[in-house]
Amino acid sequence: MSTDTTPPLRADARRNRDRIIAAARAVFAEQGPEVPMEEIARAAGVGTGTLYRRFPDRDSLIRAVGQDVFGRVLVEARAIAERETDPWRALTEFLLTASDMHTVLRLAVHSPRARAVLGTDPELAQVRGQMLTILDSMVRDAQEAGALRPDVGSGDVALLLASVLHGVRNVPEDVRRDAPARYLTLVLDGLRASPGSTLPGRPVTGADISMARVYPAE
């Protein structure tokens, strides 16, 4: 079964491969999977030649990043499901698996290309299935505990999270820093005045999002 068709990788080559995936993960989360290859190479500190040697085309890089990041999130999800007994807290903690989750959603929800590539990868189908199962049960548990409203599905939860993580750009650095936690909390708590939890971050004013200033897309 383990027919070693791959001649083992040299030490530095393996290191660079990991760097490339890590860099691509970050860049994909930030800008989506259609950024110039050269930018990914630069972020990884390698030349484009090295990048192409390891990943013959963009799709194969997308696959590698997909497997990496879905795997991470799955591991995290399992850990939380096991550690956290309160279903509401399990759900919120899971949703805050911030940066990896960000990449996952960017690839899974916001990028048609990544969807096309990852959707046809049998390796990933497995992992995705398990992730969805866990999310489903988290949602159901939270609903049975009366903590989560019953008229939503796990897809709703994913879409809302994707929106909130993706949507906040062109704001001051400090707002941006707190945005995911702040808005996730807000979405969960609701905008309606209620004896909810305390929001992290500060209120964003109209001036904060004024068009006069353009903040770097980073």
Partner DNA sequence: AACAAGTGGACGGATACCCTCCATTTGTAG
Partner DNA sequence: CTACAAATGGAGGGTATCCGTCCACTTGTT
Kindly list the residues in this chain that would bind DNA in the complex (CB under 7 A): 7, 9-13, 16, 34, 36-38, 45-50, 52-54, 56-58
Of 46, 40, 48, whose CA–CA distance to 14 is shortest?
46
Q: Would you count residue 183 as binding its own copies (CB under 8 A)?
A: yes
Q: Would you count residue 193 as binding its own copies (CB under 8 A)?
A: yes
Q: Would you count residue 31 as binding its own copies (CB under 8 A)?
A: no
63 binds, among its own copies, DNA, none (CB under 5 to 8 A by kind): none
Q: Copy the structure tokens of residue 186.
A: 């807000």
CA 39 to CA 43: how far, in whole Å? Answer: 6
The one-character DSSP state at 195 is: S
174 binds, among DNA, its own copies, none (CB under 5 to 8 A by kind): none
Contact pattern from residue 108 through residue 137 relative to its own copies, giving x for each residue in contact according to CB under 8 A and a dash for the rest: xxx-x-xxx-xxx----x--x---x--xx-
Token pair 């550690």 in the structure block, residue: 83
The single-letter code of the amino acid at 9 is: L
Q: Which of residues 49-108 bind its own copies (CB under 8 A)?
A: 108
Q: Which of residues 137-166 bind its own copies (CB under 8 A)?
A: 143, 146-160, 162-164, 166
Of 108, 127, 126, 110, whose CA–CA distance to 118 is shortest?
108
**Sequence-ordered list of residues with C-beta below 8 angstroms from that of 179, at least 6 positions apart, any chain:** 164, 168, 171, 201
Kindly indicate which of the ranges 16-24, 34-42, 46-54, 191-199 contains the residues binding its own copies, using the contact rule CB under 8 A.
191-199
**Sequence-ordered list of residues with C-beta below 8 angstroms from that of 35, at least 6 positions apart, any chain:** 27, 28
Token pair 């200033």 in the structure block, residue: 213
Which residues of the chain form contacts with its own copies (CB under 8 A)? 108-110, 112, 114-116, 118-120, 125, 128, 132, 135-136, 143, 146-160, 162-164, 166-171, 175, 179, 182-183, 186-194, 196, 198-199, 203-214, 217
